[in-house]
Amino acid sequence: MSRLLPLLLLALAACAAAPPPQSALPGAAPVTLTLANASTAPLRCQVIYGHWVTGEVPVIAPGASAALAVQRDPATREVFVPREPDGRRMMLEEILCGADADWQGSRTHIDLEAVKRGDARAYALSCSGEQETACGPWQPR
């Protein structure tokens, strides 16, 4: 019997249905967030997810933009990205952008409330300024 136990456990595990990834929530809306750099200096943006996880957006050259693909929960209106590889949600808490040369001294908080409350599938905002960065507001596209 002790030799059969590992095989039995393996067979049970193979038959068990894996739960669907949380990103497969019915009605979850894909949303594209575009950050444009209207200043004359490179722009650095950092995405802050729940539980203090951070993600870097590639540095945005003057006149260029970067896009983030996110999803919006229809019930809670929270904005999230599915985590690789299991699809669990990483909630977007905030986005910080500032001049790449002095990010700490020039950064600003980008408010996500318009994206959470809105129904558009795409939003864009523009950031400018080198001493102090100003961004927004989000515009539906």
Contact call for residues 67 and 58 (beta carbons, < 8 A): no
Position 68 pLDDT exceeds 60:
yes
Q: Give the confidence band of 23 by pLDDT, cuts at 50, 70, 90.
A: very low
Query: Considering the domain 4-140 in this protein, what is its CATH number?
Result: 2.60.40.2890
pLDDT at residue number 130: 79
- Domains of the chain, residue spans: 4-140
Contact call for residues 80 and 46 (beta carbons, < 8 A): no
Distance of CA 32 to the CA centre of its chain: 10
54 Cβ neighbours under 8 A, 6+ residues apart: 46, 47, 48
Q: Give the confidence band of 26 by pLDDT, cuts at 50, 70, 90.
A: low
pLDDT at residue number 90: 93
Tens of pLDDT along 78-106?
999 988 888 889 999 999 999 999 999 99
Q: Give the confidence band of 51 by pLDDT, cuts at 50, 70, 90.
A: confident
